[in-house]
Amino acid sequence: MNEQLPEPIKFRERIIREDDLLNSRTTVFLITNGLLLTTVGITGDELFRMLISVLGFLVTISWVIFSWQNWKVIKNLTIEYRKHYKSDYIEEIVQNSMFKPGWRRPTDLIAKVLPMVFLLTWIAVLVGYGWRLT
């Protein structure tokens, strides 16, 4: 079956769109987490702190899910793009400008590492409150 491939610009446009979605979602979640962490820090009521911490944990779980989905789409689009359009010299420059092999790409850091740091932070906060309540 002779399948027609989209033009390279369509791949690039979709990769850029997914990257923009990832950046927008990351901004929203960073702002939300920042506000929630600030609320935990300035609130005197322990029960309210605990409730805000649970909310922060749930918000961060959704961030992990959304960002990993974005990351997977960007990764798969990039792999397909590179497979079919190897002669793109701009993509060659990008690939050759990355850190040593094995280092994380910026998309990996934004989509996977950053949400996990916040998730671990909320877990630590919740465990800390759990110890205080016992």
Residue with tokens 């610009």: 9
Evaluate whether residue 64 is within a structural domain. yes
**Could you give the CA distance from residue 53 to residue 55 in angstroms, rounded to a whole number?**
5
Residue ranges making up the domain that contains 31: 8-133
Evaluate whether residue 34 is within a structural domain. yes
Evaluate whether residue 75 is within a structural domain. yes
Q: 114-133 and 8-42 helices cross at what angle (nearest 10)?
A: 20
**Per-residue pLDDT reduced to its tens digit, 53-62:** 999 999 999 9
**Per-residue pLDDT reduced to its tens digit, 67-121:** 999 999 988 888 888 888 777 777 777 666 666 555 567 788 888 889 999 999 9
**Could you give the CA distance from residue 38 to residue 115 in angstroms, rounded to a whole number?**
17
pTM, 2 dp = 0.77
Higher pLDDT, 35 or 108: 35
Residues 6+ apart with CB under 8 A from 95: 82
Q: Under a CB-based contact definition with an 8 Å cutoff, are residues 115 and 63 in contact?
A: yes
